[in-house]
Structures are given as structure tokens and as C-alpha cells.
Structure 1
Amino acid sequence: MLLAPIGALAANETTLPQITVQDDRLDDTPEGYQGGTTRVGKTDQLAKDVPQAVTIVSQQLIEETNANTLKEALRHVSGLTFNAGEGGRIGDNMMLRGFYSFGDLYLDGIRDVAQYNRETFNLEQVDVLRGSAAMLFGRGQAGGVINQASKQPLAENRNEVALTGGTDTYRRGTADINYVLGQHVATRINIMKTDAGSTRDHVESEREGVAPSIAFGLGTDHRLTLAHYYLKTDNTPDYGVPYFELRPLDVPKDRFYGTTDDYERNRTNISTATYEFSITPDGRLRSVLRHADYTRDLWGVAPRLAAGATSASIANGTAIVNRNRQARGGEEKTWTSQTDFTTKFSTGRFEHEALIGLELLDEEAGRWSYNAIAGSVAPPTTVGNPDASPLLPASYGNRVKNGVVTYEGFTWAPYVQDMVQIMPGWKLFAGARWDDLDADYSTGAQVEYGEWSYRAGVSHQPTDFQHYYFAWSDSFNPTSDLYQFTPTTAVFPAERSRTLELGAKWELLEGDLSLRAAVYRTEKAWERNTDIETAANNPLLTRERHTSGFELEGAGRLSERWELFAGLALMSPRIDEARPGGNPNVEGVRPRNAPNYTYNLWTTYKLDHGWKIGGGVEAKGERLAYGIGGGSASITPNKVPSYQRWDAMVAYEQRRYEIRLNVLNAFDKRYYESVYENGGHVVPGTGRAVQLVTELKF
């Protein structure tokens, strides 16, 4: 046998042209309830690796439960309750671990400041980081951070179109189109149109949105993503029902005491540029520039029982309900720059994971009310026969702005954190952030402050399937945070929130099931009043209060066919000290809209031939609603009863399409979802509703 010389073989070699194979993606494997990576810790991590309590509401959970708004998606988060609008607040307003979170809503890690009702059509998942925002996010509340993670362009063709129809004239259409333009370039656009009634008489919602994005450099060391988000909403504001004898008025759950002339209109435009540079395998630079423009307008009424109502007049329907006008608007414009540098390095036997960042925020805002012209209020109605289309005075539609207050502020905030591995499986971490604000109000008031936020703890991961941690965080809010009121002559320290948390996370069934548990105590000092109507005179709500609690959560797959998402939160919230000059009788009382327990469960099971069934429950304990003022009167809170709401689902899933039937509130339970803290009204949740979704994949 003769062999050719190596050189001769090399000379005869032929280089074939490069062949690029591209295919459409049609993946039958669901993403699951565990969710993907999260950036709530400022770096891309799995929730199991974050040394703090994290809940991820995944895209699969959002879709299977047909949660089309952020509020509906957050029903799956234990320890969270909803506030009803008044006092100037419009849009999403949640309580987490018994504390406000109205200023802790984020979009892709950047503060989403405005008051509006958020959608899920462009969300990949929702990340909830519990505990003080601390150095990760700067100024913030004690309960935690709610971060919306947007859908991003993918390096594969993937297209989905869905149509939904349901009871109460529910109609919705969405499209998610991802297309690869080149080897490293892809574009994605999400579109939504919703026109829906509700199980509440005359309450309607119209929403439309579009979110285009394009990414360059996918799969390379340099990546640039340009994105825009537009959302328009036109809703009927619903202030629910008033109280009678410290309980929600006992009337049918569909009864509406507003008028058909009421409206709530919001416009949101957010443009974002994100640049990512993988400098080394362990070094990464990420820089984001965002411009956001929000406008909002509200014209509605809040129902209040007139004096003299009795059990008899309630029973026969003749009791009078007054309609208190709620008429205000606002606008915000922000520029935000956020740059993070993460790297790993060694000093001797210690391994470091360092984070250095800088955030710059330029804000312009204005808010106003509308003139209350004599006689321009909606006429009263009756408990038993409310007239939603009364004869309104000619001046009712007056839209003259009154009490306009504008605000301009600039914040710069450097931050740093280091996580040090001191021995295999053991890490210590510590971080600090400095927020410096210089703000001017049109009233002539000025606000200047500089405050530190801190985060520290110890993390122990003996294996990839276990994580035990102890964390401490300290955060703050200034007097003028989120323009909630014009600063008064009273000078108080910044609101401080401190959290101690001991937690454990386990990955069971070879990582298919994630389980976490946490015990914590959060203390808040110099708590600010969030009701704009009263805050100008009483900027402080309480001097000190706390919540101690226990949380248990599981998410994932029990078998190839059986999946679940479940959470339990047990809370013991208490007011420890009244504000200076406040009512001492609030001390020892449970804070408003903070139940002793909440729990949630959603589970599905795959049957043969593409069928899937599912169902779940959301439950909250009794909640209180009462005013906190001066004097020494006894505290007699309104009480909102506990509830359980059950949902159900059946789906037929194939490779290119899916048909799903959702039944919301399957047992038609009357329950109260949103609570106005001062006790004026409470808003019922949805009655039984049926929605059919048809989804095509191509």
C-alpha cells in the first residue's frame, strides 16, 4: 500500500464555501414556571443564586393563567396586596410584605416612575426582589422591587399570533414576531389591542400597544439593542363600593356607582438603547440610556354613603350615595443613564465578583387637579338603583387645570459591591450606594439630599442544588420622593427601611423543582404618607413600624406531566410608634391593607393527545382600612373580609397551534381585591368570566 506524502495531500486540498444553516424554531418544550435568568441582582443570575428572596412570574405562568395586565400577573406573588386609587394615585399600586411599592416598579432594571396600568404583552417575566431595595436600586420602599423584564430579539425565527374572546365582550389580539435579519442581527415586534368590558357594570378598558426592537451583534462580544415601548390605555375608573358599619356595602358585585362619563387615560412612550461589551470571559460592561415620557388624566367619582344611612334604607335600596369627584392629571419626562461593570479576580486565595456602577437620572414632572366649579359634581344616586348616566350639569366637563405644581430634579448615584469567596462554597458580600438629589419645585421649594444605602450578608452554596444565606439591607426614601407632595416647613429625617432575612433555596428532582423558604424582619422608620391629598399637611404617617414574616415557595415540574407554582406568606405587621403629634392609639395596631396571610397555587397536568388541564387558588386574609391622624380617638378600622378565588383551565396544545379555555373566579365568589387604605371605598374583584384563546405559531 502506497501513501502520498503529507505535502502532496496539503497541495490538493480544496476549501469549500461556508454554509450557514438557518431554520425556524418550533419548540414544544415549555419554558416552565422557574423562569429564566434575572438581573435584579445587577448581574445575570438564576433566582437560586441570588442571596435574597426572589419570585419569578414566568411567561408560561402569565400565558396559562391569561394574566394580561401586570396586576393580574402579580396575583401569583404571595405577600402582595393591591391598593385602590384615590388621594392622587392612579394605576398600579401594590403592597409587598405590608409596605408600599408604588415607587419600586422597574422596567428592565430602570425605575418606571409613572402611575399607570401596566400590560404584559411585551413581558418575558416579572421579577420580584423582596426586602429593601438598598444599594441595588437606591431609594425605595421596604417591601421589595417589582421588575418587568421585556422580550428581547432572539437569534432564531419565532412568530406567534393570539386571539382571545370571552364573556363581558372581552376581545384581545396579540402578535409576537421575531425575525433574523442576518448572522448577528434580529428584530422583534410585539403588538397588542384589547377592548373589554368586565363583570362590573359599565366598567370598560381599551388598550393598545406596540413594542419594536432590534439587536446587533447577537452572539458576539459587542451587542447593541434599540427598543421602543408604546402603551395607550383608556379605562373606566372603578372606585368600587363604600363601607357601611365597618364592612363593605353588601350589594351585588356588579353594581357600579360611577358614571359613564368617567375616564382614566394614560400614554406611555419609552425608548431604550442598551450596549453590552464582553471585555473578557469574566469582565462585562453594560450601559443603558433611556428616555421615558408619561401622561395621565383622570376624571371619575368615588362613592360615599350620605349621612343618615341605616340598615333599613340599605336593605330597601333608598340610602343615598354621594359621588365625590376625582379629577387630576400629570406628566413625567425622564432621562436615565445606567452603567454597570462586573468582573471576577483573585487576591491571594480569595475569589472576588465585583460590581461597579453609576446611575444618572434627570426628571421633569408636573401634576394638577381640575377646578371644582360649584355645582359641577355628579348628582347623588341610591344604593339600590344607581344611575350611571345621570343628567350632568353643563359645567361638569370643565377641564381647567388648578394647583399646577412642576418639579425638576437631577440624581447621580454611584454604587459598588464585592462578593468574596473565602472558602469553597462560602461567600461574603457587601455593597453601598450613594444617591444625591438636587430638585426644584415651581412653588419655590428646593430639595437637596445625599443618602447611603447598604447591602451585606453571607452566602453558603455547598452544592449546585443548595443555597443558604443571611442578608441585611438598608434603604431610604427622601421627603419628596416621586413628587408625592410639596415639601413642608417640617423637617424630618429620610424614611429608612432595614431588613434582616435568613433564607434557604433548594433545587429538587435534579433541578426540575425549585423550593425556597425565608424568615425576615423589616423595620421602617419615619414612614411617609402616600396620600397626596393629605400629605401636604401630614407628611409623616408613622414614626416606626415593622413586619416579621415567613415565606415558602415552590416552582417547577414534579413529573414530565405535572407542574406547579405555589407560595405561602405568613406576616405579623405592627405599628410600633405613632408619628410626632399623631394618634397614640395606632400603636400596636396592624397596618392597613396588610393581611396576616396570603397563599397561591397554580398547577397543570398533561393528559394524552395534547390535552392539558389546570387550576389554582389565590387567597388573602382579612385586611384593615382606616385613617391615621392626630388626636386621641380610638382606632375603629374598616375590615375587608378574607377570600379564596379559584381559577381553572383546559388546553389543547399542538406544535403549531394551541386552544385554551380559562375560567376566572370559577365559583363566582364575591371578594374585594383592592383596598383604599383610608377606608373610603373598596373595589370588588372580577366575577366569573370565561375566555377562549387561540394561538398560532409559525
Structure 2
Amino acid sequence: MKYSFTGLVMLACLASVTAAQAQQVSEQNSIETVRVLGTKQAYRGQFDFLETPQVDLELDQELLQQAGALDLNQALDLSASVARQNNFGGLWNAFAVRGFVGDENLPSNYLVNGFNAGRGFGGSRDLSGVESVEVLKGPRAALIGRGEPGGTINLVTKRPTFDQAGTVSIAASRFNSVRTDVDYTTPLSSDVAIRLVGFYEDAESFRDTIEIRRIGASPSVAWRINDRSEVVYEMEFSDQEVPFDRGVLAVNDQLGAISRDTFLGEPGDGPMKAEVLGHQLEYSYSFNDEWSVRLGYNSRDTELEGFSTEPELSGSRQLLYRDSETLTRQRRYRHYDASYTVFRGELEGQFETGSALHRVIIGADRDDFENDQVFRRVRSPSLASNPSLEQLQAINIFNPVYGQYALPEPGPQADRVETQESTGIFFQDQISFSDTFHIRVGGRFDDYDQQLVNRRSNSTVTSSESRFSPQFGMVYQTSDTTSWYLSYGENFRPLSGTDSQGNGFDPNQSVSLEAGVKFASLDGALNGTFTVFRVQQENILVVDDPSAFTYAAAGEAESQGIELDVNGTLAGDVTLWASLAYVDAEITNDFFDPNFGRQIEAGARLLNIPELTATVQLAKNLQLNGSPMEVGAGILYVDDRLGYFGTDFELPSYTTVRIFASYAVTPNLEIRADIANLLDEEFYVNSFSELWVQPGAPSTWRVSAKLSF
């Protein structure tokens, strides 16, 4: 294993702090542990930390506030097992878990309250209406269905309580950014409560000419029908205007030739517009203390529309490869619509057979996803035809002058609608033969249909697939504070698009095996997990013909590594969050990639996957003039990553430091200050090629005030 000096230092510090403090915490009785009981989460079951044969990380509200996380990408930086991927010019969330990412041409899927509700084109997910973010590592297809082999992200939303409370916060930050958040919950009667959550953000950027506007709301209502049953309705609305921004570029494979501020698009394109309107309804009923049922419905409509001017990737058209200063660009228009509907029912309970306790989950779901895409493009002729600078839509990367040429009108490229329909039934049984030995078995059967209508060619392709996804787990608790586990699972994910003959694809398939040890202090204040894993994946899509938007299922890959996650309360009222992951992810077969015109050899690294990632955050609670105060700091290390598939181009490793402090001026008024990238590190978070590289933000401060009532 190859480790950098910074990574080794962080690992050593983490190990020493954990070892020393865990013992102190276990021996102290002065620390009070508060448990918050919330709504049961779908597909999960009710299991203690030490008896679960998988790794479930909860990024709760306190942790997210300490990290200064406002959107999902920032939240996921807290888990070292998650790596940022190509974010589509800042218009969606894309991430890989344990080395594997989904379809690079679609946003990464995530769950909302257990629903497969993250699909679509609604822009980057804001955390305004989110109570916590769960990183569920390992394969989850046996219960959840179509998913990624490395893990699943689940968002738990803010729901009504039957206590009246509210907050209003206003924040200002560097680059003329202003944000307002509102969160208010109140009972309307003894049986009905509502919650109103919303935000508005108007922000400029360190990137030249970039201005962003976002607004969102997530109201909800809860009705306690009686002591046994409840109905909760939630709405999701957001409207975003974000200019499409492919970032900076490397010149002769060298980053830093141009400023990280330099925008290489055209401000005249205006912003991309992304809209979301979603509804979620959930009914739960408890037959008794042991058996309950949950029924749910979710619908989500999203739309993305706008123009962009982007660096041309084709070597035969790219003038930059000849003179190292003039960038050839292409102009695009996108209008993407997506609608997603899910129905779900789940029965959960327990029973005994002899001395064995069975805790079971049995359920079924049905979902329909329609993905409607209109894509237009205009690009330059080949350099061999000696095109003019206007035909190249050229711009000087060292002295960009916007609006030199009239913006060309894109021509038809792709016009298609894809429909995916799936029905699944699932079960899970965790059998406890004693207080220390548990076995988990489960599986899911999916029946899947896909239809792809190409409106340009007036052709229709249909395909069907049935798939069973099994899971197996085993847990052995060696003491009240330690357990060992083993887990096996299979995953599948249907693939979008067609090959050059117009045919669909067999699903992407994977097999995952992991083993680990979990440890916890006696009072539950500190816990951690050490994991070893291996994931094998086949039928990975690569682009076959970029101009025709066809694909080929040519790739096979594997990922293996180790993880360490530790979190909790240390002595002296210090909270710790620490996460470390070593991931070795590579292609395992030779194939030709027509998208880049390269032969890919077995052993090639996967894009944007660091070998070593580590993050540590510490926070200390104090008293200042008799009022509560919190101070803290976090550090994130990300190893070098492959930046352009099939080449040696790499994004360099980086380390960022952030600090924060909050102070309760009065019992109802809190002020807060955050500084991200304290040392002003110049870094790059992800890329798709050497011409599409996303730079990280420079040192950025934010101050805020929150009024509680």
C-alpha cells in the first residue's frame, strides 16, 4: 500500500487518540448519553450497533453543523469511503462509495427516508430539510433493490414534532454570498402537527462571472390517527439557477497554468435552471410491540434546461493541443425531464422458534422512472479543414474575452425517452441463537422492464430482466463492547441506453464480501468499526459512439480496501468524528474505449478514486461568561487520483483545514463563524478529462446568526 506522509500522520494521530481516549471514556461515568428516538427507517430493521453485520454511518444534525455542510457533497466529505465524481458542471450530486460509481451520465442515486427518491435532474441536493445523512456501506440490493455495490446514501428528512419550536438563521460569506434558513414546527392539535422548512441563497463565487440563486421548501404534516397509527406527508420543492461550469484545465498535463478563478464558458449562455417538485406519503401502523406495517408512496418530478459552452474533448478539433493557449469549445443545449414514482409496503416483526429469536422484514415495492432527454450541440469542424476561430468558438485561456463571437445555435443530437418499470419483493431474517451469535439471511426478487424510444430515428427498443439478489451476514459478540462480523451480498443495477445495434444491456452485476470488528465503550459514548472489503463488478458501460450516444458493456472492475470509522464523545466533553479509507480500485479486463479512442489495460485505475482518504473533526464545548460556546477544527486529506481515464494524468493529493466557533449570546441567539480551507490550499476535487477539472474553493469565511423561538 502506498501512503503519503500526511496520510500516515493522520492515521497515527487517529490511532493514538482513539486508543487513549476510549479507555478514559469507558471508565468515566460523568458523561451523560442522550438517546433520541425517531421514526423507524424503512428497509433497515431495528438492530443495535454491535449486532449489525454491515457498516451504517449516521451524519447527524450536530455533526453536519460542525462541518459547515450545506449540501450533500459537503456532507459526504465526512465519510472517507465516499469520493467525489464528475458533478456535471455543478448541476448534480455524483459520488462513488468504496470505489464504484453509477452511470456517469446520470446523477448518483440516493434514498430519501428509505425511498429510491434521488433520481432525476433537480440540481445539487441542499440539506435545508435534511435531519441526517446515512452512509450505508456494502451491498443493499437484497432489500432496497437496484443500487450501487459500494453502498447507499439515505437522507432522513426533518419531520413535524408535537413541540412548538422554530429557528431563523441568516448567513453571509465571502464572495458576496447571502443565505437565509427557516425551520418552524408546531402542533395544530393534539393529533396533528406541521413543519415548515425553507431556504434562499444568492451567491457569487470565486469563479469569474458565476452567480448562483437557489430557493427551496420542504413543508410536512403528521397526523397521529391513534396510539398505533400515524400518517406523514412531506413535500420537496426547489428552484435553482446555476451557470454550467466545467472548471479549469491542464496545459501539457500540468495543472495550475491558469488561475482557479478562470471561467472558460460563456456568461451569455445564462444559467441552467433546475426544478424539483416531490411528494412523499407514509402510513405506519403497530399491531403490538412486536409487529408493525409501513406503507409508502413517493413521486418526484425534475427538470433541467439551459445552454452551455464547454471545452471540446476531441483531439482532432482541439486547438489547445497545438498552441497551448487557444481553447476550442462546443455549445450545448439540454432539456431533461424526469418523473419517478414509488409504492412500497413493508411488514416488520419478530417471533421465536425454540430458543432462536427471528427479526424479520418482508415487503414489496413498485417503481416507475421516465427519463426524457433532448440534447442539441454545435461543434467545430476538424482542425484539418483549417477552421476560423469563430468556428472553433475559441477563447484564450490566459486572457479570456467573453462574447467575441455570436453564440451559435445548437443542432439536434439526441431526442429520446426511456422508461424503467420494476416490481420487487424482499425479505430479511436476522436469527439470534443467543445474545452473542446472530445470522442474517435475506434476498430480493426483481422483475424489470425497460423501453427506450428514440424520437429522432422513430425506433423503440424494449428489454426485460428478472434478478434475485441474495445476502448473508454473521455476527459474533465476544464481549459487551466488541463484535466481529462477516457479510456477503450480490447487487444488480439496470443500465440505460443502447449499443450501436440498438439493443439494450444485461444489468450491471457485482459481488461483495466484507469482514470487520466493531467496538464500543460501555456507556455507548464512543464506537468504531474496522472493515476489510472486496467488491467485484462486471458489465460496466463505456461510451461506444459519442456522436450517436451509444454504449458498450465492456468493463469489469474490482475494489478492495480497509476502513476505520470512529465517532463519539471523549473525555473533557470533546466530540470526535474520524474516518479513514484505503481503496484499491481498478479495471480487471482489457478493452478498447471508443469514447477516448484508447486501449484500456487491465490494472488501470478508476477515475477520481483516491487510494487513501482521511478526515478527522474535533469539537470542544466550553463556557464563556456563563454561556455555552463550541470551538472545533477539521482536517481532510485526499490522495492523488486518476484524472483522465486511460492516461497517466492525475489530480494531486491535497489537505484542507477548517475551523469553526459558535457562541450563545443569549439563550435564543447564537452566532457562528466558519473558515473553510484555512491554509488556502490550491486543490482539485474531481475531473472527467484534463480539460474538465473542478477546482476547490480558496479560503472562505462564513458568519451566521440563528434566532430560536
TM-score of the two chains, using structure 1 as the length reference: 0.87
Runs of 4+ in 1 over 6 A off after TM superposition: 29-38, 373-378, 580-584
In structure 1, the partner of 2:679 is 667
SS of 2:551's equivalent in the other structure is: coil
Match of 2:287 among 279, 294, 297: 279
Shift of the 464–161 alpha-carbon distance from structure 1 to 2, 3 Å rule, reads farther
Could you give the per-residue CA deviations for residues 44-84 of structure 1, whole angstroms, max 9, x where no partner exists? 45555432122221111212222111111111110222122
Alignment partner of 1:608 is 2:608: no
Shift of the 551–428 alpha-carbon distance from structure 1 to 2, 3 Å rule, reads same
Tell me by how many angstroms 1:161 deviates: 0.9
Shift of the 538–167 alpha-carbon distance from structure 1 to 2, 3 Å rule, reads same
Any stretches of 5+ residues in structure 2 without a counterpart? 1-30, 381-387, 455-459
CA contact (8 A) 1:199 1:688 kept: no
Tell me by how many angstroms 1:538 deviates: 3.4
In structure 2, the partner of 1:448 is 464
In structure 2, the partner of 1:213 is 220
Tell me by how many angstroms 1:411 deviates: 1.1
Match of 2:343 among 337, 343, 354: 337
How far, CA to CA, are the matches of 2:306 and 2:365 in structure 1? Answer: 32
How far, CA to CA, are the matches of 2:33 and 2:85 in structure 1? Answer: 31
Match of 1:404 among 401, 406, 415: 415
How far, CA to CA, are the matches of 1:326 and 1:514 in structure 2? Answer: 49
In structure 2, the partner of 1:13 is none
In structure 2, the partner of 1:594 is 609
Alignment partner of 1:554 is 2:554: no
In structure 1, the partner of 2:427 is 416
Q: How many residues align?
A: 649
In structure 2, the partner of 1:320 is 326
CA contact (8 A) 1:32 1:58 kept: no
% identical aligned pairs: 22
Alignment partner of 1:53 is 2:55: yes
Alignment partner of 1:143 is 2:150: yes
How far, CA to CA, are the matches of 1:132 and 1:600 in structure 2? Answer: 23
In structure 1, the partner of 2:490 is 474
CA contact (8 A) 1:379 1:390 kept: no
In structure 1, the partner of 2:11 is none
TM-score of the two chains, using structure 2 as the length reference: 0.86
Tell me by how many angstroms 1:599 deviates: 0.6
In structure 1, the partner of 2:446 is 435
Alignment partner of 1:506 is 2:514: no
Shift of the 133–611 alpha-carbon distance from structure 1 to 2, 3 Å rule, reads same
Q: What amino acid is the match of 1:336?
A: V
In structure 1, the partner of 2:309 is 301
SS of 2:287's equivalent in the other structure is: strand
Match of 1:108 among 100, 106, 113: 113
How far, CA to CA, are the matches of 1:394 and 1:675 in structure 2? Answer: 26
CA contact (8 A) 2:543 2:550 kept: no
How far, CA to CA, are the matches of 2:62 and 2:32 in structure 1? Answer: 7
In structure 1, the partner of 2:92 is 91
SS of 1:608's equivalent in the other structure is: strand
In structure 2, the partner of 1:8 is none
Alignment partner of 1:132 is 2:139: yes
CA contact (8 A) 1:240 1:303 kept: no
Shift of the 528–307 alpha-carbon distance from structure 1 to 2, 3 Å rule, reads closer
In structure 2, the partner of 1:520 is 533
SS of 2:126's equivalent in the other structure is: coil
Tell me by how many angstroms 1:407 deviates: 2.2
Shift of the 266–41 alpha-carbon distance from structure 1 to 2, 3 Å rule, reads same
CA contact (8 A) 2:319 2:327 kept: no
Tell me by how many angstroms 1:528 deviates: 2.2
Could you give the per-residue CA deviations for residues 170-192 of structure 1, whole angstroms, max 9, x where no partner exists? 10000110101222321101010
* Deviation larger for 499-508 or 367-376: 367-376
How far, CA to CA, are the matches of 1:70 and 1:588 in structure 2? Answer: 31
Tell me by how many angstroms 1:219 deviates: 7.6
How far, CA to CA, are the matches of 2:373 and 2:63 in structure 1? Answer: 37
Shift of the 502–394 alpha-carbon distance from structure 1 to 2, 3 Å rule, reads closer
Could you give the per-residue CA deviations for residues 374-398 of structure 1, whole angstroms, max 9, x where no partner exists? 89978321121112x31441644x6
Could you give the per-residue CA deviations for residues 244-293 of structure 1, whole angstroms, max 9, x where no partner exists? 23333522221211221342211111111100001111101011111111
Shift of the 488–352 alpha-carbon distance from structure 1 to 2, 3 Å rule, reads farther
Shift of the 250–207 alpha-carbon distance from structure 1 to 2, 3 Å rule, reads same
SS of 1:445's equivalent in the other structure is: strand
Tell me by how many angstroms 1:604 deviates: 1.1
How far, CA to CA, are the matches of 2:196 and 2:432 in structure 1? Answer: 42
SS of 1:71's equivalent in the other structure is: helix
CA contact (8 A) 2:331 2:408 kept: no
Tell me by how many angstroms 1:326 deviates: 3.6
How far, CA to CA, are the matches of 2:226 and 2:124 in structure 1? Answer: 35
After superposition, where does 1:172-211 map in structure 2 within 5 Å? 172-211=179-218
Shift of the 697–504 alpha-carbon distance from structure 1 to 2, 3 Å rule, reads same
How far, CA to CA, are the matches of 2:550 and 2:165 in structure 1? Answer: 55
Tell me by how many angstroms 1:492 deviates: 5.4
Shift of the 532–351 alpha-carbon distance from structure 1 to 2, 3 Å rule, reads farther
CA contact (8 A) 1:497 1:523 kept: yes
How far, CA to CA, are the matches of 1:31 and 1:159 in structure 2? Answer: 25
How far, CA to CA, are the matches of 2:82 and 2:700 in structure 1? Answer: 23
Match of 1:118 among 118, 125, 134: 125
Shift of the 459–278 alpha-carbon distance from structure 1 to 2, 3 Å rule, reads same
Could you give the per-residue CA deviations for residues 177-225 of structure 1, whole angstroms, max 9, x where no partner exists? 0101222321101010001112222222211001111101188210001
Could you give the per-residue CA deviations for residues 410-443 of structure 1, whole angstroms, max 9, x where no partner exists? 2110111111112332111111111111222223
SS of 2:268's equivalent in the other structure is: coil
How far, CA to CA, are the matches of 1:690 and 1:661 in structure 2? Answer: 7
Tell me by how many angstroms 1:373 deviates: 8.2
Match of 1:361 among 357, 362, 367: 367
How far, CA to CA, are the matches of 1:226 and 1:659 in structure 2? Answer: 33
CA contact (8 A) 1:161 1:174 kept: yes
Shift of the 585–300 alpha-carbon distance from structure 1 to 2, 3 Å rule, reads closer
* Deviation larger for 418-427 or 351-360: 418-427
CA contact (8 A) 1:248 1:682 kept: no
SS of 1:60's equivalent in the other structure is: helix
Shift of the 231–30 alpha-carbon distance from structure 1 to 2, 3 Å rule, reads farther
Alignment partner of 1:573 is 2:559: no
Shift of the 167–551 alpha-carbon distance from structure 1 to 2, 3 Å rule, reads same
Tell me by how many angstroms 1:460 deviates: 2.2
In structure 1, the partner of 2:693 is 682
Q: What amino acid is the match of 2:476?
A: H
Structure number with bigger Rg: 1
SS of 1:511's equivalent in the other structure is: coil
Q: What amino acid is the match of 2:702?
A: Q
How far, CA to CA, are the matches of 1:30 and 1:674 in structure 2? Answer: 41
Tell me by how many angstroms 1:534 deviates: 7.3
After superposition, where does 1:624-635 map in structure 2 within 5 Å? 624-627=642-645, 635=646
CA contact (8 A) 1:324 1:377 kept: no
Tell me by how many angstroms 1:662 deviates: 0.5
Match of 2:669 among 657, 668, 685: 657
Q: What amino acid is the match of 2:693?
A: V
How far, CA to CA, are the matches of 1:183 and 1:571 in structure 2? Answer: 51
CA contact (8 A) 1:266 1:297 kept: yes
Could you give the per-residue CA deviations for residues 3-57 of structure 1, whole angstroms, max 9, x where no partner exists? xxxxxxxxxxxxxxxxxxxxxxxxxx99999997873752245555432122221
SS of 2:328's equivalent in the other structure is: strand
Tell me by how many angstroms 1:342 deviates: 0.5
Match of 1:229 among 209, 222, 236: 236
* Deviation larger for 461-470 or 429-438: 461-470
